Amino acid sequence: MSEFVQSFMQNLKAKNPSQPEFIQAVQEVIESLAPVIERHPEYIECKLLERIVIPERTMIFRVPWLDDAGKVQVNTGYRVEFNSAIGPFKGGLRFHPTVNLGILKFLGFEQVFKNSLTTLPMGGGKGGSDFDPKGKSDNEVMKFCQSFMNELFRYIGPDTDVPAGDIGVGGREIGFLFGQYKKLANEFTGVLTGKGLAWGGSLIRPEATGYGTTYFAREMLKTRGESLKGKVATVSGSGNVAQYAVQKITELGGKVVTLSDSDGSIYDSKGIDAEKLAFVMNLKNVKRGRIKEYADKYSCEFLAGKRPWGVKCDVAFPCATQNEVDVNDANALVKNGCKCVSEGANMPSTPEAVDVFLKAKILFGPGKAANAGGVATSGLEMSQNSLRLSWTREEVDQRLDGIMCAIHTQCANAMDEYKCKDNYVMAANIAGFKKIADAMMAQGLV
Ligand code: NDP
Ligand code: 2IT
């Protein structure tokens, strides 16, 4: 079987040059699926794996806009519609200067399996642009979003493709995007998720990814008779996912001692309590400042240019970006006694780091399981939009918690069935894949 994986990957690399993140994401999934393929030779005959790694459709388009000085700016926009076997394409939009086709293909590919794990009927997709929102005025962000939607609106729709937020795309951007979609399509529909509460958004959607990642850690710890109570946690990032992870970890009795952004990390040994978190939320969501200002305000350590993984902790939550935990970080975490890693970000650990966690037999929740709460709650927003109803905070939170528990159970069942105890990576890939594979087989060659 490893011969199959090897030649499959060789072919994939040849066909997708300069897309290392996409290759990395596929390699992990294909390696995990070896025992499934052995039981299902029909998948090979139908070239299911060869098909699953090619997006159903990819759009790349020009996004011209005028900045505040009246000068012309231009960016590249993308939407990768990866797989619609189990529902409309669904997945976020990322605005960050590092965005390119390979990054969005990795994210779209991961999204297919993640969305399958949520138990909800959603296919997978991802999009975005190399536009950098940092340092831009609200007016410039609006101009960009409107121009981006002028092209994107042809491809999306509430039953076709439903984008949402990701890095650099939060409530403000979703508002501008939704307004322009509505104008162009002349329709008020649930075409985007992460909307404001007054115009079709769902309670708990902003909180959902951070909360879900924490619920998943709680479920993993439970299998070893442990909980988050009294645990020291490191969190990276300081955006949407990180902020609500801090809130929920603290609520469940943990103490969060770090946050970060691309300039470095803060280390607050006293813990980031509710008041300090409110400061972070205002700093990041309103003032759009840098995390160093936290260290200045609360007189704690700022680790310039550093990630937080050298800080001693019991539980770690990478919530910033891909490949932010390398093999040295993983070794440091394990050496310092970290028992559990729950990935709020997408693919934050390098393959070598993942190997370290698996060999050390610590609890390691891969992003496609551990951060699925965000898209799951987007699915709940879609349901509420279709029903033209809004559920209460408690109702959405309960459903989110239930979905995270269901994802954990699917992983545990796959571990039993495929004899891969403690390996949430293999288990999540297998459980996510099976539903997609069955749907693709049933729908024929499309
Ligand atoms: P935000 O834009 O709100 O925050 C991103 C945070 O990560 C910021 O603190 C940012 O710092 C930091 N960051 C981003 N890129 C880098 C980089 N290259 N190096 C170092 N730090 C970086 O995004 P989210 O919180 O929404 O997303 C965080 C992660 O979670 C991403 O991997 C995303 O794909 C994933 N995710 C998000 C979901 C959601 O619902 N939003 C759902 C599931 C996963 P700086 O400001 O300096 O750039
Ligand atoms: O990576 C992700 O799951 C997201 N950015 C959320 C996608 C969504 O459609 O809510």
> Over the stretch 303-343, which tens digit does the pLDDT of each residue have?
999 999 999 999 999 999 999 999 999 999 999 999 999 99
Pocket test for ligand 1, best of 235, 241, 375 (most atoms within 8 A of CB): 241
Helix (H) or strand (E) holding 77: strand 72-83
The mean pLDDT of 166-189, rounded to a whole number, is: 98
Mean pLDDT of 49-70: 98
Total domains in the chain come to 2
Asked if residue 385 belongs to a domain, the reply is no
The b-or-e profile of 327-365 (16+ CB within 10 A means b, else e) is eebbebbbebebbbbbbbbbbbbbeebbebbbeeebbbb
Helix (H/G/I), strand (E/B), else coil: 222? helix
Q: What is the pLDDT of residue 167?
A: 98
* pLDDT of the residue at 2: 81
Same domain assignment for residues 6 and 147: yes
Residue 152's domain comprises: 2-188
Instruction: Please provide the size of the chain in residues.
Output: 446
Phi and psi based region of residue 337 (left: phi greater than 0; alpha: psi -120 to 50; beta: remaining): left
Q: Are residues 36 and 125 in the same domain?
A: yes
Give the pLDDT mean for 24-39: 96
Q: Which ligand is nearest to the CA of 378?
A: 2
Q: Are 154 and 212 within one domain?
A: no
Question: What was the pLDDT predicted at 242?
Answer: 99
Percent of all residues in the chain with a pLDDT value above 70, rounded to a whole number:
100
Ligand whose nearest atom lies closest to the CA of 209: 1
Enter the tokens of residue 107.
Answer: 């994210």
| Whether the Cβ atoms of residue 264 and residue 232 lie closer than 8 Å to each other | no
Calculate how far, in angstroms, residue 206's C-alpha sits from the geometric centre of ligand 2. 11
Ligand 2 pocket mutation, candidates 83, 90, 378, 384, criterion most atoms within 8 A of CB: 378
CATH number at residue 255: 3.40.50.720
Task: Kindly state whether residues 151 and 240 are assigned to the same domain.
Answer: no
CA of 165 to the centre of ligand 2 (A): 6
Beta strand pairing call for 315-317 and 232-235: parallel
- Condensed to tens digits (0 to 9), the pLDDT of residues 278-311 reads 999 999 999 999 999 999 999 999 999 999 999 9
pLDDT at 95: 99
274 part of a folded domain: yes
**Tell me, what amino acid is at 31?**
E
CA of 394 to the centre of ligand 2 (A): 21
DSSP helix, strand, coil percent of the chain (3-state; round to 5)? 50, 15, 35
How many angstroms does the Cα of residue 213 sit away from the middle of ligand 2? Answer: 13
| 415 band by pLDDT with thresholds 50, 70 and 90 | very high
**Which residue's CA lies nearest to atom 10 of ligand 1?**
261
Q: Given the CA of residue 372, which atom of ligand 1 is nearest to it?
A: 43
Do 216 and 184 share a domain, yes or no?
no
At which residue do the structure tokens 């329709």 appear? Answer: 187
CA atoms within 13 A on the CB side of 212: 36
Contact yes or no for 106/71 (Cβ under 8 A): no
State the average pLDDT over residues 37-50: 95
Query: Residue range 223-228: average pLDDT?
Result: 98
Domain containing 141 — which CATH number? 3.40.50.10860
Going by CA atoms, what residue is nearest to atom 10 of ligand 2? 375
Token pair of 442, please?
Answer: 């049933």
In a domain, 408, yes or no: no
Q: Which two tokens stand for residue 373?
A: 């709460």
Same domain, 227 and 167: no
Task: Provide the whole-model pTM.
Answer: 0.98
What 3-state class would DSSP assign to 364?
strand
Nearest ligand 2 atom to the CA of 371 is 3
Would residue 148 count as lying in a domain?
yes
Atom of ligand 2 nearest to the CA of 346: 1
Domain membership flag for residue 164: yes
Residue 444 lies inside a defined structural domain of this protein: no
Catalytic position from the list 90, 105, 114, 126:
126
Domain end call among 131, 160, 188: 188
Do residues 314 and 237 make contact, with C-beta atoms less than 8 angstroms apart?
no
Strand partners, 64: 74
Sequence-ordered list of residues with C-beta below 8 angstroms from that of 395, at least 6 positions apart, any chain: none
165 within domain boundaries = yes
If you measure from the C-alpha of residue 386 to the centroid of ligand 2, how many angstroms do you get, rounded to a whole number?
19
- How do beta strands 264-267 and 89-95 pair? unpaired
Q: What does the alpha-carbon distance between residue 364 and residue 122 come to, in Å, rounded to a whole number?
A: 25
Average pLDDT of the segment spanning 60-87: 98
Ligand closest in space to the Cα of 211: 1
By C-alpha distance, which of 385, 400, 413 is closest to 209? 400
For residues 215 and 260, membership in a common domain is answered with yes
Residue 160, H or E segment: none
- Give pLDDT tens digits for 119-145: 999 999 999 999 999 999 999 999 999
- Report the DSSP beta bridge partners of residue 58: 80
What DSSP character marks residue 132? -
pLDDT tens digits for 247-263?
A: 999 999 999 999 999 99
Report yes or no on 386 lying in a domain.
Answer: no
Per-residue pLDDT reduced to its tens digit, 234-244: 999 999 999 99
Percent over 90 (pLDDT), the chain: 99
Q: Does one domain contain both 80 and 215?
A: no
At 238, list the tokens: 């300081």
Q: Are residues 162 and 241 in the same domain?
A: no
Q: How many CB atoms lie within 10 A of CB 387?
A: 9
> Looking at ligand 1, which atom is closest to the CA of residue 168?
2
Question: Which of 365, 388, 412 lies at the terminal end of a domain, its last residue?
Answer: 365
With the most atoms of ligand 1 within 8 angstroms of its CB, the residue from 99, 240, 403 to mutate is 240
Q: List the beta bridge partners of residue 365.
A: 342
Residue 1 has pLDDT above 80, yes or no: no
Question: Quick one: tokens of 412?
Answer: 């545990």
Pocket residues: Cβ below 6 A from ligand 1: 165-168, 170, 209, 237-242, 261-262, 319-321, 344-346, 371, 374
Q: Beta-carbon neighbour count of residue 393 at 10 Å? A: 12
257 and 356 fall within a common domain? yes
Q: Do both 266 and 348 map to the same domain? A: yes
238 and 108 in a common domain: no
Instruction: Give the residues surrounding ligand 2 with Cβ less than 6 Å away.
Output: 90-92, 111, 114, 164, 166, 193, 346, 374-375, 378
Q: Is 134 labeled as catalytic in the residue annotation? A: no
Ligand 1 atom 36: residue of nearest CA? 345
Mean pLDDT score across all residues of the chain? 98
Which one of 365, 386, 421 terminates a domain?
Answer: 365
Rounded average pLDDT over 34-47: 94
